């Protein structure tokens, strides 16, 4: 069964079981979008989403499988809370974030290639002219 595609803020809220619980977002390469998962179940797909209090997570065993088999699998996610008022986000000092299993063990800052573990805000926009993942308050 195909999952719904959320295009509005209300759909992004309605398709979740509980907006007070964290979600995981990962790049869906087959559909060229973000997949949003809650409690281990994909709830919907979207082209853009903003998270608060996010963690950048990479399963090393999943990454090792990619390196060994040269076949992609879901092993890297951004975990956080759906931000229902993204207009509250800071306007400046956002940092481009990237992940490539063939180059890095974790998500990294594009400018310094230092590992990134958490961020206060993460904006994921699949068709951005800039980086598709930007973060503010990075640690």
Q: How far is CA 40 from CA 1, 79, 110, 123, in A?
A: 16, 12, 29, 21
Cα separation, 71 vs 85, in Å, equals 37
In this prediction, the residues of the chain whose per-residue pLDDT falls under 50 are none
- What's residue 130's pLDDT? 79
- What's residue 102's pLDDT? 97
- What's residue 103's pLDDT? 97
Q: Residue 33 in contact with residue 47, Cβ under 8 Å?
A: yes
Cα separation, 106 vs 63, in Å, equals 9
User: In angstroms, how far apart are the furthest CA atoms of the chain?
Assistant: 43
- What's residue 128's pLDDT? 82
Q: Token pair 């931000």 is at which residue?
A: 83
- What's residue 2's pLDDT? 86
- Tens of pLDDT, residue by residue over 65-91, are 999 999 999 999 999 999 999 989 999
Q: Which helix (H) or strand (E) holds 69?
A: helix 60-69
Please tell me the pTM assigned to this model.
0.95
């Amino acid at each position: 069964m195909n999952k719904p595609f959320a295009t509005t803020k209300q759909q992004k809220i309605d398709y979740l079981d509980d907006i007070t619980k964290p979600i995981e977002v990962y790049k869906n390469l087959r559909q060229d979008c973000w997949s949003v998962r809650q409690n281990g179940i994909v709830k919907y797909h979207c082209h853009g989403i903003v998270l608060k209090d996010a963690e950048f997570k990479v399963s090393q065993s999943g990454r090792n499988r990619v390196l060994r088999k040269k076949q992609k699998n879901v092993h890297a996610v951004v975990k956080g809370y759906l931000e229902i008022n993204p207009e509250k986000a800071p306007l400046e000092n956002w940092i481009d974030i990237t992940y490539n299993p063939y180059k890095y063990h974790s998500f990294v800052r594009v400018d310094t290639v230092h590992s990134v573990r958490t961020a206060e805000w993460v904006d994921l926009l699949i068709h951005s002219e800039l980086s598709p993942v930007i973060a503010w308050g990075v640690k």
